[in-house]
């Protein structure tokens, strides 16, 4: 066929549109189709049972998540109140985890343990910082140290769910809080 021809099917297939529990189980032919309005899934009759041929994809509150046992593997639900993405695997919901990242900037002010809000909601695993008017680069791990690349680490307060910290009184330039210097950062959970 070149795309301009019409091909007729030799037999007519049934198509049903109903809740899954009301799908017929007799008088069907292999290839008949049904759409479950309660599950939002398309099914195909294989001659013996209804088989899912699509997945469920929806979103809403965590309390409104559909029962996983009724959905095919690979179905997806986004919880709008918790910002979690869940997928059905083996008849159960599993949370898909992705690292969160935020970016921002600040101007140094030469104060020790200055709190910089990161907005992730959990303590970042690493914070990358670069100085805007130079070549200095820094990183902060979960440990309580800020490290200027190429020099040693200086103690600062451990990052938490709200802030990461810069500035060690021993050396503000090497702890990412030199007075009036612009800094750009990325926090990754």
Residue 118 phi/psi, 5° resolution?
A: -110, -20
pLDDT value of residue 141: 63
State the pTM of this model. Answer: 0.53
CATH 2.10.10 describes domain 13-54: yes
Residue ranges of the chain whose pLDDT lies below 70: 1-11, 140-152
Q: Name the residue ranges covered by the structural domains of the chain.
A: 13-54, 55-98, 101-188
pLDDT value of residue 189: 84
pLDDT value of residue 94: 93
Contact 55, 41 (CB under 8 A): yes
DSSP string, 167-189: --TT-SGGGT--TT-EEEEEEE-
């Amino acid at each position: 066929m070149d795309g301009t021809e019409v091909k007729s099917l030799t037999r007519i297939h049934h198509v049903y549109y109903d809740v899954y529990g009301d799908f017929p189980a007799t008088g069907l032919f292999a290839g008949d189709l049904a759409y479950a309005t309660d599950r939002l899934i398309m099914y195909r009759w294989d001659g013996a049972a209804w088989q899912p041929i699509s997945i469920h994809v929806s979103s809403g509150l965590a309390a409104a998540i559909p029962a996983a046992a009724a959905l095919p593997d690979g179905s997806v639900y986004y919880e709008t109140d918790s910002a979690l993405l869940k997928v059905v695997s083996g008849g159960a919901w599993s949370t898909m985890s992705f690292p969160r990242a935020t970016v921002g900037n600040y101007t140094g002010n030469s104060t020790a343990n200055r709190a910089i809000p990161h907005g992730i909601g959990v303590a970042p695993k690493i914070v990358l910082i670069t100085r805007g008017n130079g070549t200095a680069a820094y990183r902060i791990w979960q440990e309580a140290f800020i490290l200027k690349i190429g020099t040693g680490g200086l103690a600062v307060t451990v990052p938490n769910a709200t802030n990461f910290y810069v500035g060690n009184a021993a050396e503000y330039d090497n702890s990412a809080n030199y007075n009036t210097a612009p800094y750009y950062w990325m926090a990754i959970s």
